[in-house]
A and B are shown apart, each in its own frame.
Chain A
Amino acid sequence: MAAAGGGAAAGRAYSFKVVLLGEGCVGKTSLVLRYCENKFNDKHITTLQASFLTKKLNIGGKRVNLAIWDTAGQERFHALGPIYYRDSNGAILVYDITDEDSFQKVKNWVKELRKMLGNEICLCIVGNKIDLEKERHVSIQEAESYAESVGAKHYHTSAKQNKGIEELFLDLCKRMIETAQVDERAKGNGSSQPGAARRGVQIIDDEPQVQSSGGGCCSSG
C-alpha cells in the first residue's frame, strides 16, 4: 500500500489520501473546511471544495500533499464505504461528544477499517463540538481508552471555535510520513516509483501454497 506515499527521496513530495468518516451531523465537513480555509482563505471558487479538499504542507522539510475525501454520513450509504476508503493512508473518524450514538458509529468504522485495511492506515478518532462540553454524553476517559485500545489517536476539537484542528492534521501527517517511511524501508530503496507499482497487472500464483506463518488478513487490531 502506502499508495502515493512513496518518495522519501529528496525533493519528492509525499501524497496522502485521508478519508473522513462519521455520522451525518457530527460536523466532519466543518472540521475540514475550517482547516483548509483558515490557512488559505482564498476566494477562488472551485467545485467540490466541501467534499474533496487538498492541502500542501511542509513538515520538518518534507513536502506533503494532503487529499481529504469527505464521505456521506447517512446510514443508507454505509455500504459504499469501501469504495471511498480503499488506498487511504489515513482516516479521520468524527463523532459528536453530545451524541453517544455517533461514537458507536465510529467504533463500527474502526472495526471495519482494521478488518479491511489492517494496521497500515493511521486512524484518528475525533470528538468534535467541545464547545458544547456541558452537554457531553461521551466520557473523555472512555473515548481515549477506546482509541488507545485500537491503536488510534484521540483528539478533541471544536470546528466552531477552531480548536484542536491544526494539531489533529499535523499529527496525522507526521504519523503517515512515519508509516510511509517504514513501508519504504521494508520495500527497499530500489523501486520507489510512486503509484506505478500499484496499478498495472498483478500476477498471482494460484498453485496451492504452503500456509504462510500466520499474520494473514485476519489480524484485526
Chain B
Amino acid sequence: MCSPEEAALLQLEEVFSATLARISNRVLQPLLTAEPSDPQGRECLRLLQQLHGCAQQLWEVTERSLRALRERLRHPDAIGLESLLLLLEADHVLQVHMEYIESYTSCVVVQAFQKAAKQRSRYWRGQRKALRQLLWGVSPEGSMGTALVQALRQPLTHHVQKYALLLLSLRDTIGECHPARELVVRAATLFGDLHSFMKQALDQAEATQALWLTLSSRLRDALCTPARRLLQDSQDVPVTVTPLRAERALLFDDVLVLLQGHSVHTFDLKLVWVDPEQDGCAAHLLTPEEEFFFGSRSPREKQEALERTYEEIEATVSQALGQEHKLPMDDLLPLLIYVVSRARIQHLGAEIHLTRDMMDPNHTGGRYDFLLTALESCYQHIQRDGRHASTAHLPGLQGALVARPPLDQA
C-alpha cells in the first residue's frame, strides 16, 4: 500500500521538475548570453554558469526521484518504500541541493542576476509578463534582476520545506516495525537539516548582499567575494573597539573587518585569538598585528545611565517650576517619551531587549525593572504613532506640566 505522503511527494517532484526546466530555459540560459566586458561581469557570468550546472544536476536528481516514485505508486506491492530515491540516496539528493543553494546564494551575494539582466535590459523587460505567468514569485514591480532572484528562490524554499514536512509526516504514519522505517527517519532528519541550512544560507546571503549596497564601491570591491558571508554587523550589535578606533565592525565567516573613515583593517579569523573577559561584556582579541578589546556597555552602566536620565528629568522640572516636584507617571511618561525620542538612541529596541535579558532575575518587579519597563513603553509608543508621538503632542517641558492634564487634549 502507498501512503498519501508518497502521492504528495510525487506531485511535489512533478511540479519542481517542471519549474526547474522552466528556470533553466527561461531564466538561466538567457542570462548566460550576456557578454560582459569587465572582470566583475565575467565573474558573475562564471557564477551563473556554475548555477546553471547545479540546476541541471538538481533537475536530473528530481527526475530520477520522480521515476522512482512513479514506479512505486504503479506497483506498490512489488516495489517497496525503500526503493524511493529520497530514501535510498538521501545523501546524494541532499548534496545536490546544497550545491545548488550554495551556488545560488553566491550569485545573490554578488548581484549576478542584477548585473547580467542589466546587460540585456530590453529583452528582460519584454519577458517579465511571460515569466510571471510561468514562475511563481516574480513580482510585477522592482528591478528585473531582483525579480529573477525571487523567481529562483520561491520554488526552492517551497520545495525544500515540503520535502521536510512530507518526510516527517511519512515518518509519523509508518509503523514501528516497517522495514523502511530507519531510512525514513534518517531522511526526515536530513531534510529537516537541509531546511535549516537553506534558511540560514538565504538569510546570510541576503544580509551580505544588503551590506554591500550600503558600503562605498571602493570598500565593496575590496571586501566582496562570492563565498564571503556577513555574520554580525556592529550596527545591529553595538560594540566599542579599543584602543583601535572603529566606527563599524563587521564579522564575516572568514574575516573580521574594522572600518574607520577610509581605513580598513582586516583580520583573518584563523589568526584571531579571542579571550572573553570575566564580566561577559568585553572580549580581548589578539592577532599577529594588533591587540584590542571589544566591549559593550555593561548592563550595570546602562542602568546607571537610565537612573541619571530620570534624575535629570525630575531636576529639570523642579527647576522650571521653582519647587521640588515629584513626577507621577502621568507626567513622567510624556516627558520621558520626549527625551527618548530626542536622544535618538541607536538600536533602542535591541538595547532594551538585551538589557532585559541580562537583568538579574532578582531585580524582577523592582526599581530597575520599572526603569527599563518605562523605557520600553516609550519605545513602543514612539514606534506606534511614529512621527506624531515624538514631538507633536509636546509643546515643551514647561508646557507639558503647567496646564495639567494637558497631554490628552493635545
The interface of chain A, by Cβ under 8 A from chain B, is: 3-4, 15-17, 24-25, 29, 33, 45, 47-52, 54, 67, 69-77, 79-80, 83-84, 87, 194-196, 198-200
Contact = CB atoms under 8 A, between A and B. Distances in A.
B310 A48 contact: yes
B101 to A, nearest CB: 25
A73 B408 CA distance: 10
B132 interface: no
A79 B333 CA distance: 13
Contacts of A83: 373, 376-377, 380
Interface string B350-368: 0000000000011011110
B391 to A, nearest CB: 14
B370 A72 contact: no
Contact of A77 (B314, B324, B333): B333
Interface in B282-339: 307, 310-311, 314, 324, 326-330, 332-334
Contacts, number: 96
A70 B329 contact: yes
B384 interface: yes
The 6 A-B residue pairs with the shortest CB-CB distance, nearest first, are: A50-B326, A29-B328, A195-B361, A17-B365, A72-B333, A70-B329
B124 to A, nearest CB: 42
Contacts of A51: 327-329, 332, 370, 374
Contact of A67 (B334, B366, B381): B366
Nearest to A193: B361
Contact of A199 (B326, B361, B366, B408): B361
Nearest to B366: A67
A11 to B, nearest CB: 16
Contacts of B327: 48, 50-51
Nearest to A75: B408
Interface of B: 307, 310-311, 314, 324, 326-330, 332-334, 361-362, 364-367, 370-371, 373-374, 376-377, 380-381, 384, 393, 405, 407-408
A52 B373 CA distance: 11
B112 to A, nearest CB: 37
Contacts of B407: 74, 76
Contacts of B314: 47-48
Contact of B367 (A16, A48, A50, A198): A48
Contacts of B371: 48, 52
Contacts of A4: 364-365
A4 to B, nearest CB: 5
Given A54-B366, A72-B329, A80-B381, 20 more contacts: A3-B364, A3-B365, A4-B365, A29-B328, A29-B329, A47-B307, A48-B310, A48-B327, A48-B367, A49-B326, A52-B367, A52-B370, A54-B367, A73-B329, A74-B407, A77-B333, A80-B380, A194-B362, A196-B361, A199-B361
B364 A71 contact: no
A54 B368 CA distance: 12
Nearest to B308: A47
B364 A80 contact: no
Contact of B330 (A24, A45, A48, A80): A24
Contact of A29 (B311, B330, B377, B384): B330
A29 B311 CA distance: 19
A84 B371 CA distance: 11
Contact of B310 (A17, A47, A73): A47
B384 A79 contact: yes
A67 B365 contact: yes
B168 to A, nearest CB: 10
Contacts of B393: 76
Most buried by A among B311, B314, B324, B328: B328
Interface centre among A3, A72, A77, A196 (most CB of B within 10 A): A72
Contact of A47 (B311, B365, B380): B311
B341 to A, nearest CB: 15
Contacts of A67: 365-367, 370
Given A48-B310, A48-B367, A195 B329 contact: no
A48 B362 CA distance: 20
Contacts of B370: 48, 51-52, 67, 69
Nearest to B365: A17
A19 B188 CA distance: 49
A172 B286 CA distance: 57
A198 B326 contact: no
Contacts of A73: 329-330
A117 to B, nearest CB: 14
B364 A87 contact: yes
Contacts of A80: 333, 377, 380-381
Contacts of A70: 328-329
Contact of A71 (B324, B329, B366): B329
A67 B371 CA distance: 13
24 contacts: A24-B405, A24-B408, A25-B405, A29-B330, A47-B310, A48-B370, A50-B332, A51-B370, A52-B370, A54-B366, A67-B366, A69-B373, A70-B328, A76-B408, A77-B377, A79-B381, A80-B381, A83-B373, A84-B373, A84-B377, A195-B364, A196-B361, A199-B361, A200-B361
